[in-house]
Amino acid sequence: MNYFSSDFKLGILGGGQLGKMLLTDTRKFDIQTYVLDPSEEAPCKIGSNKFFKGDLMDFDTVYNFGKQVDVLTFEIEHVNVSALAKLETEGVKVYPSAATLKLIQNKGRQKDFYVKNNIPTADYKHFEALTRLEAAVEDNEVTLPFVWKSTQFGYDGNGVRVIRSIQDFDGLPNVECIAEKMIPFKNELAVIVTRTPSGEIKTYPVVEMEFHPEANQVEYVICPARIDATVAEKARAIALKVSEKFNHVGLLAVEMFQTEDDEILVNEVAPRPHNSGHYSIEASYTSQFEQHLRAILNLPLGNTDSKAAGIMVNLVGAEGHTGDVVYKNIEKILGKNGVTPHIYGKKQTRPFRKMGHVTIVNEDITEARRIAEEVKNTIKVISN
């Protein structure tokens, strides 16, 4: 099939920053794109050929949107899977598939899947409601501390809380959840795996993630991870196994823990371009967004090697600021070597909302990390 400057139509469910960055590459290749998002102000609106406003969880909305395109992909997991499954039976190519997404959408199902397929993961218990978990804690079936995770609709630190005492249950929703054993770990790592429908598969180098202590959000993504080569090989091998078992097509970001004794445990996965791969836009031969496109269109995959060390700094809304966004001091970081800001186009800021990122590329990873700290301390995302 001819994708370039043709009648071919690619549909994207979700119009946020991931979609916006994907559209940079569809425009580079002159591929027609249709986007569906619930917000009239979605960042994707300006970059797509056609933009549709609608509810991603509504069966009819997703189904009717999907009927207009040849290949359908998504940049957010919270979409109507039944509509995707029906579209597949009618000949629309959906990548990753409805079956893959259904497994990944629910963190409880995801964890059960790892156990069933002998993929190393932290011990956990699955509960249909918070009240059941609270009862289990009272009966000493679950011991404190542990990590509470909502099985559905969590993102950017929402839907995750460390429970150290009974008081920590306050304010949590009474929903299906898991209680996961707290793992003392050295590092949080991630590996991006890409696979085509015909079975070509590639992994990106292992990245290391430094988290904000309160927001449970990634502050820095560092590539390559500052870890031993044998640990990196093990992480890539486990990521390949996860990809093979999910049988996904497109991009799969596999997040992992490196334990104190250098074991690798899978935390969770995302079947789409991911925060841990943003560094690749500047630092890799093939960005994760171009690679996702190549994969879902069954084109040859690009080189995943890095040209230089890359560090990504998340730009998130400052605490105490909600409303029309203002970016302070961006011009000050533009004078620094190898620094590229990406602004997502969200008009409204709120505390810890992802509003953009900055990539720092340098031959020396220590120098890149130093500049990243300067960037982090210079830019402020505030409200008007």
Helix (H, G, I), strand (E, B) or coil at 99: helix
- Phi then psi dihedrals of residue 141, to 5 deg: -80, -25
Note the pLDDT tens digit of each residue in 159-180: 899 999 989 999 999 999 999 9
Residue 201 annotated in ligand binding: no
Mean pLDDT of 195-213: 93
H/E element holding 241?
Answer: helix 229-246
pLDDT at 215 over 70: no
pLDDT at 157 over 80: no
Residue 324's contacts (CB-CB under 8 Å, 6 or more residues apart) are 347, 348, 349, 383, 384
Least confident of 59-63, 187-191, 209-213, 259-263: 209-213
Residue 263 annotated in ligand binding: no
Assigned CATH topology for domain 9-94: Rossmann fold (3.40.50)
- Of 220, 215, 150, the closest CA to residue 180 belongs to 150
Residue 149 annotated in ligand binding: yes
155 pLDDT tier (thresholds 50, 70, 90): low
pLDDT at 219 over 90: no
Question: Using an 8 Å Cβ cutoff, are 54 and 80 in contact?
Answer: no
Residue 354 annotated in ligand binding: no
Residue 171 zone, left/alpha/beta (φ > 0; ψ -120 to 50; rest) = left
> Please, what is the average pLDDT of the chain?
95
Q: What is the CATH number of domain 185-383?
A: 3.30.470.20
For residue 377, the cross-strand partners are none
* Strand-strand pairing, 185-195 and 201-203: antiparallel
233 pLDDT tier (thresholds 50, 70, 90): very high
Residue 363 annotated in ligand binding: no
Q: Which amino acid is at 175?
A: V
b/e burial code for range 307-329 (CB count within 10 A of at least 16 → b): ebbbbbbbbbbbeebeeebebee
Mean pLDDT of 255-283: 96
In whole angstroms, what is the distance from residue 113 CA to residue 105 CA?
A: 12
218 pLDDT tier (thresholds 50, 70, 90): confident
Residue 257's contacts (CB-CB under 8 Å, 6 or more residues apart) are 122, 183, 185, 187, 188, 189, 264, 265, 267
Examine residue 145 and say whether the peptide bond preceding it is cis (omega within 30 degrees of 0).
yes
Query: What per-residue confidence (pLDDT) applies to 201?
Result: 97
pLDDT at 6 over 70: yes
Share of the chain above pLDDT 90, in %: 93
**pTM recorded for the entire structure:** 0.95
Note the pLDDT tens digit of each residue in 75-121: 999 999 999 999 999 999 999 999 999 999 999 999 999 999 999 99
Residue 182 annotated in ligand binding: yes
Residue 272's contacts (CB-CB under 8 Å, 6 or more residues apart) are 18, 73, 74, 75, 76, 77, 96, 250, 251, 253, 292
Note the pLDDT tens digit of each residue in 285-306: 999 999 999 999 999 999 999 9
Mean pLDDT of 275-290: 97
Q: Is the dihedral of CA 177, 178, 179, 180 positive or negative?
A: negative
Note the pLDDT tens digit of each residue in 301-359: 999 999 999 999 999 999 999 999 999 999 999 999 999 999 999 999 999 899 999 99
153 pLDDT tier (thresholds 50, 70, 90): confident
Residue 233 annotated in ligand binding: no
Mean pLDDT of 260-282: 96
pLDDT at 214 over 90: no
Question: Using an 8 Å Cβ cutoff, are 138 and 91 in contact?
Answer: no
In whole angstroms, what is the distance from residue 283 CA to residue 116 CA?
A: 36
pLDDT at 156 over 90: no
Query: What per-residue confidence (pLDDT) applies to 133?
Result: 95
Residue 140 annotated in ligand binding: no
End-to-end CA distance of the chain: 48
Query: Which residue ranges make up each domain of the chain?
Result: 9-94, 123-181, 185-383
Question: Using an 8 Å Cβ cutoff, are 357 and 303 in contact?
Answer: no
- Phi then psi dihedrals of residue 35, to 5 deg: -125, 140
Assigned CATH topology for domain 123-181: Dna Ligase; domain 1 (3.30.1490)
